[in-house]
Structure 1
Amino acid sequence: MAKRLDILVPFLNERESVAGFCALAGDLAAQAKERFGLDTNFIFIDDGSTDGGGALYGEHMTGDWSLITLARNFGKETAILAGLDQSEGDYVLLMDADLQHTADVALDMIGRIIADPDLDMVYAIRADRAESRTLGRYLANGFYWLINMGQRYEIPANAGDFRIMTRRFAMALRQLRDQRRFNKGLYAWTGFRQERILYKPADRQGGESKWSRRKLIAFSLEGFTSFSVVPLRMVSLFGGGVAALGFIYGIKILLEVLFTGVAVPGYPSLIVAVLVLGGLNLALTGLVGEYVWSALSEAKNRPNYIIKSMSGPSAVPLAQTRKTGRASHDD
């Protein structure tokens, strides 16, 4: 019996690329069958699109595929989880619908994971980002340096969701039901043997990237609150340093008054102390608030997502879906 490859494709308002991706999907499925003997099943996850693009897959797709439509925009990280919950393949490949992930790189990753039985994941790293020397890239590298500090595992920089995994890796990943998901950290935390490859993405065929700077900053904060205590420790160390400097300064003033008769500086020194300590306290309160909100989100234990509908030749009726922490409108 031929092994099965499930290809998960989360998307949000990618109407312009539907026809092009369906053509790529047909070519990828044919080559996966010819070169590796794999039966291919596509699982599209509509993460709350408002452009009607999801309906177009029914006009262009052939073969085995299904469309999961979520009740609203839950975020790409959660949309991937929704696809994993529906996947039963021996291998699971994650791709974007904007055509920046090419069939050639996907086939390379498929070949690598099939050739090595001990390998559980192959992930692609964007070479154009690794080679760039922009301010944004330096900030990103600083982010990964901080989040990996003191960890027992490494979250690789410049790696996205373009990757393939074995069934056992996918099953392990499905067990992680974090409400505030940071998949890059979850992939690394899960463990197993992983391998990286470099690739250069193709140009977008339409639409715009959904990752604004504001969303990237929020996503980075999500990573810190989910996988690192370094920010809290840094603020604590900074606070300890400020307290030590204040103590030394206080001794200096006391000695000057006792032995030289110099008047104690009043208003300026007081204002500086209030601003420094007040600002530090506000920053620490805000940071602690982020961690508390993250903990509160997990404690509520809500379903990770809500399925609105499922369609396509390979779709499973909602009444038959597994109860693995998700919900549908029939629940």
Structure 2
Amino acid sequence: MAKRLDILVPFLNERESVAGFSALAGDLAVQVKERFGLETHFVFIDDGSTDDGGALYGEHMTGDWSLITLARNFGKETAILAGLDHSEGDYVLLMDADLQHTVDVALDMIGRIMADSELDMVYAVRSDRAETRSLGRYFANGFYWLINMGQRYEIPANAGDFRVMTSRFAAALRQLRDQRRFNKGLYAWTGFKQERILYKPAERQGGESKWSRRRLIAFSLEGFTSFSVVPLRMVSLFGTGVAILGFLYGIKILLEVLFTGVSVPGYPSLIVAVLVLGGLNLALTGLVGEYVWSALSEAKNRPNYIVKSITGSHTATAVQTAKASRKATHG
């Protein structure tokens, strides 16, 4: 029996790219069959879209595919988990629906993982981001530097969800049921042998990115609260430093009063101390609140997602088979 490649495609309001991706999917399926002898099954995960993108896939897609429609927008990280839960392939490929992930890079990753029996994941790293010199790029580099500090594993910078994995790696990911998911961290935490390749994404064919700056900041906070205690330790060290400086300053004032008779400065020094310590306390309280909220989300143990419906290329066949069976049973 031929081995199978499941291709997971999470999407949100991507109706403009449906026709283009359906054509890409057909080309990819043909080349995967010819080069590697793998059957392909596409798993589309509609993450609460408000347009008709999901219905359009039913009109444009050919071959073996299924569409999982979630009850609302749970986020891309969770949509990928839903796809993993409904995949049964020997290999699993993650792709975006916006056509920025190309067939050539996908084939390269598949070839690498099939050529090495010890390899469990190949992931693509954007080379264009590494070349960019901007304020946002420096913040991103700082984020990865902080989150990797003191870890026994490294979360690679500029790596997204464009990757292929073995069924063994996919099974390991299914066990990780984090409510507030940070997949980049989960991929690294899982372990196994992984390899990276560099790629430059194609231009987006339609629509616009769903990742606003506000969502990126929130996503970064989830990464910190899920995988790093460094922010808490940094604030604690800063607080300790401020306390030591305050203690030394108090000794200085005391000595000046005792030996030189200099009057103690009142209002300015008091306001500075109140503002510094008050701001530090508020920052620490907010940071602790983020960690508490993260822990509370995990403790509730709600399901990661709710499936509204599952349709696909076999839906019509299954309905016809069920009708024929009932007709034969009841005469």
Spell out the pairing of 1:170-181 with structure 2 (5 A cutoff).
Answer: 170-181=170-181
**1:265-309 CA distance string (max 9 Å, x none):** 101100100000000000000000000000000000000000000
Paired residues for 1:153-302 under 5 Å: 153-302=153-302
Aligned residue identity for 1:294: S
Q: How do 1:4-23 and structure 2 match up within 5 A?
A: 4-23=4-23
Provide the secondary structure at the position in 2 that maps to 1:206. coil
Residue number in structure 1 paired with 2:125 = 125
1:100 — aligned with what? 100
State the SS of the aligned residue for 1:173. helix
C-alpha separation in 1, matches of 2:134 and 2:281: 33
Following TM superposition, the consecutive aligned residue runs of length 4 or more in structure 1 with deviations greater than 6 angstroms are none
Question: Structure 2: which 5+ runs fail to align?
Answer: 319-331
The aligned amino acid for 2:110 is I
Equivalent position SS for 1:74: coil
Q: CA deviation at 1:313?
A: 2.0
Amino acid at match of 2:294: S
What SS is found at the alignment partner of 1:138? helix
> Deviation digits for residues 196-253 of structure 1, max 9, x if unmatched?
0000000011000000000000000000000000000000000000000000000000
Match of 2:73 in 1: 73
Supply the distance in 2 between the matched residues of 1:236 and 1:151 (Cα, whole angstroms). Answer: 19
Shift of 1:314: 4.5
d(CA) in 2 for partners of 1:256, 1:130:
54
Tell me which residue corresponds to 1:64.
64
Percent identity between matched residues is 89
Tell me how large the CA RMSD over aligned residues is: 1.0
Letter of the structure 1 residue corresponding to residue 235 of structure 2: V
1:198, 1:134 → 2: CA distance?
20
Secondary structure, aligned partner of 1:72: coil
Instruction: Give me the whole-angstrom Cα distance separating, in 2, the residues matched to 1:69 and 1:206.
Output: 21
Asked whether 1:145 is paired with 2:145, we answer yes
Following the alignment from structure 2 to structure 1, what is the Cα–Cα distance between the partners of residues 313 and 170? 23
The equivalent of 1:310 in structure 2 is 310
CA distance in 2, matches of 1:135, 1:114: 39
Counterpart secondary structure, 1:9: strand
Aligned twin of 1:322: none
Amino acid at match of 1:160: G
1:105 aligned counterpart, secondary structure: helix
Name the SS of the counterpart of 1:308 in structure 2: strand
After superposition, the Cα gap between the structure-2 partners of 1:102 and 1:181, relative to the gap in structure 1 and judged at 3 Å, is same
Distance 2:242 2:145 in 1: 25
Q: Which amino acid aligns with 1:145?
A: W
Q: Which has the larger radius of gyration?
A: 2
Residue 55 of structure 2 aligns with which residue? 55
* Secondary structure at the counterpart of residue 217 of structure 2: helix
Partner of 1:30: 30
Alignment partner of 2:195: what SS?
A: strand
Q: Distance in 1 between matches of 2:300 and 2:293?
A: 11
Query: Aligned equivalents of 1:130 and 1:7: distance in 2?
Result: 27
Q: Which AA in structure 2 matches 1:248?
A: L
SS of corresponding position for 2:271: helix
The number of residues matched between the two structures is: 317
- What SS is found at the alignment partner of 1:273? helix
Aligned letter for 1:93? L
User: What SS class does the counterpart of residue 232 from structure 1 fall into?
Assistant: helix
The code of the aligned residue for 1:89 comes to G
